[in-house]
């Protein structure tokens, strides 16, 4: 049973405060878990409680969330069996009492939820992925590596946030990661040769000042070939433009590249042209989070060919996903633990997607920590796809490196792929 729960303020990969929670069990198990933080957040995400005190961290301190773990959550959960994840999460949801976890903070609640899962796994003697996913959790996902950053994640001329490479032709995770790393380094060489910056954005991808959004695809395809791989066969593309971040008054302003203002229908046409031109297997947030009819049109246009995935539109919330299923707004859902705020609710949303025959992709946030919880969680959920940023920066690599460990540990039982 749970002997103690404590929390502290730490810093994330952007240097902003976030929450780390410690859980200790009778019998000596002691674990920690750290909460990530997004930048291009959806409007309906669970609330990240910040202090708002301008004298500390520009108002971004999380001392209130830390205090809520200690003073509100801990007293309710002490003595409980850590294996009762669903009950523990439900108690925290009730204690908070708001639909968006605004009172205690989703950062406080999720930190406890993750740490409880990790403690229970350790107490049971199982790795976290096997504890949460059962003995069938043997599939290591395809990594979608964000090698070129734009949008809100980089100060450059690219409107679209994430250009990811997906090594779909690799035989196992370790090889997929190698394909990704080699392509990443080839891309660096190409950018250098044409005189562009090779400094990186928030998720470790390059952030060059390109002449157009299309040029991002062109240089990545060149990098795939330079690294010795065949675009579309060995390594495909996945795009997350994070369209909510450039949506304005019902239209889309491609301001950073200077490519003009587009209507929703024009954006659908743009994505159709991209899917015809480039080997894209997945398009996430191709339209604004409030553009439900646009999403449905996009799915009608491209849903048979590629994964049309919703991130900001669903915010990992089962009620929004249920609407998406009713309205055929996509065929795939991005899953982020801190958008909804508990391990149990996240698992429920994944189940809902699976029932509808939709794919899922487990995701990090642009502000991350050295916690690799996401890797174990992705194997447990068996969705076959993950994104944890580029192939550099240790807050990204700690997840990828954890997959290497899991694949090694599973040995001959390991599966790989979507
Ligand atoms: P965020 O971006 O973590 O800054 O919200 C990630 C994404 O949009 O998928
Ligand atoms: Zn996204």
Q: For the chain (length 418 residues), average pLDDT per consecutive 10?
A: 98 98 98 97 97 98 98 98 98 98 98 99 98 98 98 95 98 98 98 96 96 97 98 98 97 97 98 98 98 98 98 98 98 98 98 98 98 98 98 98 98 96
How many angstroms is it from 298 CA to the middle of ligand 2?
16
Ligand 1 contact, 240 CB (< 6 A):
yes
Any ligand 1 atom below 6 A from CB of 365: yes
**Residue owning tokens 């996009």:** 298
pLDDT at 9: 99
Ligand 1 centroid from CA 3, angstroms: 35
pLDDT at 317: 98
pLDDT of residue 84: 98
* Six-digit token string for 199: 């400094």
Q: Which two tokens stand for residue 245?
A: 């971040």
Q: Which two tokens stand for residue 7?
A: 């929390």
Joined together, the tokens standing for residue 328 give: 């055929």
- Among the atoms of ligand 1, which is closest to the Cα of residue 202? 4
Separation CA 289–CA 293 (nearest Å): 10
24: left (phi over 0), alpha (psi -120 to 50) or beta: beta
Instruction: Kindly give the distance from the C-alpha atom of residue 38 to the centroid of ligand 2, in angstroms, as a whole number.
Output: 10
Which residues, listed in sequence order, are joined to residue 332 by a DSSP beta bridge?
309, 359
Under DSSP, the state recorded for 204 is: S
Region at 79 (left for phi over 0; alpha for psi -120 to 50; beta for the rest): left
Measured distance between the N- and C-terminal CA atoms of the chain, rounded to whole angstroms: 37
Helix 173-193 crosses helix 213-226 at what angle (to 10 degrees)?
120
Per-residue pLDDT, 410: 98
ipTM over 0.90: yes
CA atoms within 13 A on the CB side of 19: 33
Which atom of ligand 1 has the smallest separation from the CA of 387? Answer: 9
Q: From the CB of 238, is ligand 1 less than 6 Å away?
A: no
Q: Is 336 a catalytic residue?
A: yes
Please give the distance, rounded to the nearest whole angstrom, from the Cα atom of residue 242 to the centre of ligand 2: 5
Q: In the prediction, which pLDDT does 324 show?
A: 98
Task: Using alpha carbons, list the distances in angstroms from residue 24 to 27, 75, 123, 193.
Answer: 9, 14, 10, 53
Q: Which ligand is nearest to the CA of 363?
A: 1
Assess contact for 35 and 395: CB atoms under 8 A: no
Q: Among 45, 336, 395, 407, which one carries the catalytic annotation?
A: 336
- Three-state DSSP class for residue 140: strand
Angle made by CA atoms 346, 399, 206, in degrees to the nearest 5 = 110
Pocket perturbation via mutation, ligand 1, pick of 12, 13, 14, 39 by most ligand atoms within 8 A of CB: 39
Distance 317 CA to ligand 2 centre (A): 14
pTM for the whole structure: 0.98
SS3 content of the chain, % helix, strand, coil (to 5): 45, 20, 40
Please write the tens of the pLDDT for every residue from 248-290: 999 999 999 999 999 999 999 999 999 999 999 999 999 999 9
Residue 344 in contact with ligand 1 by CB distance below 6 A: no
pLDDT digits (tens, 9 = 90+) for 151-208: 999 999 999 999 999 999 999 999 999 999 999 999 999 999 999 999 999 999 999 9
pLDDT at residue 23, as a whole number: 99
Annotated binding site for Mg(2+): 240, 284, 311
Cβ-contact 37, 62 below 8 angstroms? no
pLDDT in the model for residue 354 = 98
Which of 146, 241, 311 to mutate to test ligand 1, by most ligand atoms within 8 A of the CB atom?
A: 311
| Pairing relationship of beta strands 332-335 and 251-254 according to DSSP bridges | unpaired
Report the distance separating Cα 154 and Cα 207, nearest Å: 6
Q: Is residue 366 lining ligand 1, measured as CB closer than 6 Å?
A: yes
How many CA atoms within 13 Å lie on the side-chain side of 100? 10
Sign of CA dihedral 43, 45, 49, 55: negative
Give me ligand 2 centre to Cα 123, in Å: 35
- Residue of 203, 345, 395, 407 with catalytic role: 203
Q: What is the DSSP string of 353-393?
A: HHHTT-EEEEE--SB--S--HHHHHHHHHT-SEEE---S-S
Residue 94 annotated among the catalytic residues of the structure: no
Atom nearest to 38 CA in ligand 1? 3
CA distances (Å), 142 to each of 77, 121, 368, 369, 387, in order? 37, 24, 20, 21, 8
Q: Is the minimum distance from the CB of 146 to ligand 1 under 6 angstroms?
A: no
pLDDT at 253: 98
| Structure token pair of residue 65 | 């969330």
Closest atom of ligand 1 to 37 CA is: 3
Asked if residue 41 has its Cβ within 6 Å of ligand 1, the reply is yes
């Amino acid at each position: 049973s749970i002997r103690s729960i404590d929390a502290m303020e730490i810093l994330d990969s952007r240097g902003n405060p976030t929450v780390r929670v410690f859980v200790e069990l009778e019998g000596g198990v002691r674990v920690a878990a750290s909460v990530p933080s997004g930048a291009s957040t959806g409007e309906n995400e669970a609330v990240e409680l910040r202090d708002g005190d301008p004298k500390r961290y520009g108002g971004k301190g999380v001392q209130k969330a830390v205090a809520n773990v200690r003073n509100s959550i801990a007293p309710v959960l002490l003595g409980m069996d850590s294996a009762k994840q669903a009950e523990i999460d439900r108690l925290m949801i009730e204690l908070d009492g708001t639909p968006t976890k605004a009172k205690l903070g989703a950062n406080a609640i999720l930190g406890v939820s993750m740490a409880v899962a990790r403690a229970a796994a350790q107490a049971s003697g199982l790795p976290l992925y096997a504890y949460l996913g059962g003995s069938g959790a043997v599939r290591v996902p395809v990594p979608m590596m964000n090698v070129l950053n734009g949008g809100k994640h980089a100060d450059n001329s690219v409107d679209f946030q994430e250009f990811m490479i997906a090594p779909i032709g690799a035989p196992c995770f370790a090889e997929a990661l190698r394909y990704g790393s080699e392509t990443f380094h080839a891309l660096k060489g190409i950018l250098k040769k044409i005189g562009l910056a090779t400094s990186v954005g928030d998720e470790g991808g390059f952030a060059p000042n390109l002449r157009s959004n299309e040029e991002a695809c062109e240089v990545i395809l060149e990098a795939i070939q330079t690294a010795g791989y065949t675009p579309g066969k060995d390594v495909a593309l996945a795009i997350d433009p994070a369209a909510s971040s450039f949506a304005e008054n019902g239209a889309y302003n491609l301001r950073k590249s200077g490519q003009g203002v587009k209507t929703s229908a024009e954006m659908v046409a743009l994505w159709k042209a991209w899917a015809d031109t480039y080997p894209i297997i997945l398009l996430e947030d191709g339209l604004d989070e409030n553009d439900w009819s646009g999403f449905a049109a996009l799915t009608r246009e491209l849903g048979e060919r590629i994964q049309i995935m919703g991130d900001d539109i669903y915010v990992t919330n089962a009620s929004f996903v249920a609407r998406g299923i009713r309205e055929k707004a996509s065929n795939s859902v991005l899953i982020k633990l801190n958008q909804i705020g508990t391990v149990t609710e996240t698992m429920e949303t994944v189940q809902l997607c699976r029932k509808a025959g939709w794919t899922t992709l487990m995701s990090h946030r642009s502000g991350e920590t050295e916690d690799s919880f996401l890797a174990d969680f992705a194997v447990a959920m068996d969705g076959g796809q993950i994104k944890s940023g580029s192939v550099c920066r240790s807050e990204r690599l700690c997840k990828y490196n954890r997959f290497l460990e899991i694949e090694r540990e599973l040995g001959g039982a390991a599966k790989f792929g979507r």
